[in-house]
Amino acid sequence: MKLAVIGTGYVGLVSGTGFSELGNDVICVDKIKEKIEQLNNNQIPIYEPGLEELVRKNREAGRLSFTTDLKAAVKASDLVFIAVGTPESPSGAADLSYVYGVAEEIGEALDHKYKVIVVKSTVPVGTSEEVERRILMKNPDANIDVCSVPEFLREGSAVHDTFHPDRIVIGARTEKAANLLVELHSPLTDKIITTDPRSSEMIKYASNAFLATKISFINEMANICDAYEADIQAVAKGMGLDHRIGPKFLNAGIGYGGSCFPKDVKALKHLAEEKNYHSKILQAVINVNDKQSDRMIEHFDDIFGDKVEGLTVGMLGLAFKPNTDDMREAPSLKIIPKLLERGVHVKAYDPIARDNAQSLLPQEVKIVGSLTEAIQDVDALFLVTEWEEFLSLSPAELKALMKQQVVIDGRNAFDRDALKQEGFIYRGIGRK
């Protein structure tokens, strides 16, 4: 099949490349000229394991190309995927200006040939219908079906997730469009659900909101564990073995970040409010998450009392999670100012996100180029992102480098018992 994918962020780039790997002809479009130039030189603007090779392979096979010319790409395609951003607007609602902007451009580009327009961006319920309305406003004779096929990939494992999806959700209003989309996705999985576009849009928000709820729930349990000296990891294991609960997304820590959970939970809450439904659960999920990164500061204050001024903290990790350079809504951005406010010096290291982090952090923060530098002579170590590289250090190695033996583990990822045996003061989240 011939596809145009509009937007070359995580979703457009990875899913577009994935479709071409399945043998389809894919044209990826972005309005940012520099991004397209980079991609045409096999340079990948995001850090995503496995993506560079896949892009190169499919470009060389002649199935994948990049352009800024949306109109030509739409004209050449049978299916057009909209994969542009839907960021948070000041009210908390999803900002749909990019989606609607693209809809209007598509409307201007269409002729009378039948095309399926697919909204892949995460959008409020009813958006696909509005996209159709806007296309038809520009081009009343357009021969189209507008569908919703949400994306469920995770950053850092996006390539793997694309080829091994748990399910594909197709929201279509005609059998013709649904059949075409089932055919396109069937090489990926047999777990394909077809439904109406509104339910499909809601499946995406409900899935992200549920995962965020699971995280805020386990974080709240961890905070209660802290108060009673129970161990959240034992609690999560004991809970997760119940098949109805499941072990995933029960890692307590400093809260969820990233480009999607924070904005999507707020967008869903806002969507409900537009119909006068006030979601108490979503509000609680947000409240718990907003406060969760403070736990590291509370542990720090508890250990050092009012003698924190002039101390140095080594911060391990800046990205919102490992295997990504994405700094959007990263807990490090909330923790660092609180340390600086206390007169604490901060040295930070992240293997991949340090360039992205530089412009987002106050100048006083010293972003260092190696793990050893981040640990050398510090009074306390803050584990903020659980990169594999950080966990390979032995307690003896840490002890040899650090000035004082204090570890505050925001991800419960270090070997607590080994650190304690080496004489460290250790504080996790819900785990002492």
Ligand X SMILES: NC(=O)C1=CN([C@@H]2O[C@H](COP(=O)(O)OP(=O)(O)OC[C@H]3O[C@@H](n4cnc5c(N)ncnc54)[C@H](O)[C@@H]3O)[C@@H](O)[C@H]2O)C=CC1
| Residues with catalytic function | 260
Question: Of ligand UGA, ligand X, none, which one does residue 300 interact with (CB within 5 to 8 Å by kind)?
Answer: none
Residue 356 CB-half CA count within 13 A: 20
Length of the chain: 432
* Range 49-88, binding ligand X (CB under 6 A): 70, 83-86
Give the CB-nearest residue to ligand X.
Answer: 9
Q: Which of 73, 102, 181, 413 binds ligand X (CB under 6 A)?
A: 102
> What gap in Å lies between CA 230 and CA 233, rounded to an integer?
9
Cβ atoms within 10 Å, residue 339: 23
Burial level of 74, CB count in 10 A (0-12/13-18/19+)?
A: buried
Should residue 337 be labelled a site residue for ligand X when binding is judged by CB under 6 A?
no
Question: Of ligand X, ligand UGA, none, which one does residue 257 interact with (CB within 5 to 8 Å by kind)?
Answer: ligand UGA
Cα distances (angstroms) measured from residue 185 to each of 22, 64, 75, 169, 174 = 9, 17, 22, 10, 17
Q: Which of 165, 257, 314, 430 binds ligand UGA (CB under 6 A)?
A: 257
Mask of contacts with ligand UGA, 301-340, x by CB under 6 A?
-------------------xx-------------------
Should residue 256 be labelled a site residue for ligand UGA when binding is judged by CB under 6 A?
yes
406-409/380-383 β-pairing: parallel
Stretch (H or E) spanning 159? helix 158-163
Should residue 236 be labelled a site residue for ligand UGA when binding is judged by CB under 6 A?
no
Nearest alpha-carbon partner for 131 in 176, 171, 167: 171
Should residue 262 be labelled a site residue for ligand UGA when binding is judged by CB under 6 A?
no
Q: Specify whether the CB–CB gap between 208 and 260 falls below 8 A.
A: yes
Q: Which residue has the tokens 């009378």?
A: 112
Should residue 149 be labelled a site residue for ligand UGA when binding is judged by CB under 6 A?
no
Size of the site for ligand X (CB under 6 A): 28
* Sole window of 28-36, 270-278, 300-308, 423-431 interacting with ligand X (rule: CB under 6 A): 28-36
Mask of contacts with ligand X, 210-249, x by CB under 6 A?
----------------------------------------
Judged by beta carbon, residue 154 or residue 345, the one nearer ligand X is 154
Cβ atoms within 10 Å, residue 253: 28
Judged by beta carbon, residue 76 or residue 211, the one nearer ligand UGA is 211
Should residue 3 be labelled a site residue for ligand X when binding is judged by CB under 6 A?
no
Q: Which residue has the tokens 């650190």?
A: 419
Nearest alpha-carbon partner for 262 in 280, 223, 284, 289: 289
Q: Specify whether the CB–CB gap between 407 and 419 falls below 8 A.
A: yes
The nearest distance, CB 262 to ligand UGA, in angstroms, is 9
Should residue 163 be labelled a site residue for ligand UGA when binding is judged by CB under 6 A?
no
> What gap in Å lies between CA 326 and CA 392, rounded to an integer?
23
Sites of contact with ligand X (CB under 6 A): 6-12, 29-32, 35, 70, 83-86, 98, 101-102, 105, 121-122, 151, 153, 155, 259-260
Residues that bind ligand UGA (CB under 6 A): 122, 151-155, 208, 211, 215, 249-251, 253, 256-261, 320-321
